[in-house]
Amino acid sequence: MSLDDIKVVKNPGTAYKYNVSDRDTSSASATIKAGEPVKTYSTNEFVVIIADGDPEISTDQFIGVARKESTETATADGKVEVVTLIPMSTVLRGKATTAGNIDTASELLAYLNDWVTFDVTSSVFTIDENETTDPNVHGLMIIGGDTTDKTLDVFVHPLVIASLVGQTMD
């Protein structure tokens, strides 16, 4: 992963320390790094790195973005400091999955207000503008971006922060 793949650029929530399960139990291959988005895991007592295609409504409880590296080891639980999210207020920024899709203002404009998720490829987090917009499932709304830096800014859907795990949006 690249340090600070995902940044909190506006209206952060509070920073809070969350529990991280030992890597043998959680099957994680490495510690959580600063700039990695995290969600709850298992019985909600631990956080883990968000997976490709997350966050999704009724599946994930998106907590926030790691501020520092986590302290768990292979056999001992640890902690990670996370900047929490304020729905439809906190702005996250990350690279677009396909930089060529937002080369120009008119290309970027076509993605505004689309609901998408993160792409995770080789431990690098990007915002997946390639996804078909779906506000009933996807947890990130594209609100802007930078055609020079090839970054996208997103709000977070309230229903991936509030715990609706197991519910559907029909």
Range of the domain at 115: 91-159
Comparing 1-5, 73-77, 87-91, 118-122, the range with the smallest average pLDDT is: 1-5
Which amino acid is residue 80, in one-letter code?
V
pLDDT at 165: 60
- pLDDT, one tens digit per residue, over 69-117 is 999 999 999 999 999 999 999 999 999 999 999 999 999 999 999 999 9
Q: Give a yes or no: residue 41 inside a domain.
A: yes
| Residue 155 and residue 131 share a domain | yes
Q: Give a yes or no: residue 168 inside a domain.
A: no
Between strands 151-156 and 37-41, the pairing is unpaired
pLDDT at 2: 60
Average predicted confidence (pLDDT) for the chain: 92
User: Above 70 in pLDDT, residue 31?
Assistant: yes
User: Above 60 in pLDDT, residue 170?
Assistant: no
What is the separation of C-alpha 52 from the centre of its chain, rounded to a whole number of angstroms?
A: 10
Alpha helices per DSSP H over the chain = 23-26, 105-109
Who wins on pLDDT, 84 or 28? 84
pLDDT at 132: 93
Name beta bridge partners: 146: 151
Q: Give a yes or no: residue 166 inside a domain.
A: no
Distance CA 137, CA 27 (A): 26
Q: Give a yes or no: residue 26 inside a domain.
A: yes
C-alpha closest to that of 95 among 152, 155, 154 = 152
| Residue 141 and residue 120 share a domain | yes
Q: Give a yes or no: residue 101 inside a domain.
A: yes
Structural domains of the chain, count: 2
pLDDT at 164: 60
Indicate the pTM of the whole model.
0.92
Q: What is the mean pLDDT of residues 49-60?
A: 92
| Residue 95 and residue 35 share a domain | no
Who wins on pLDDT, 11 or 166? 11
| Residue 126 and residue 79 share a domain | no
C-alpha closest to that of 46 among 76, 68, 67 = 76
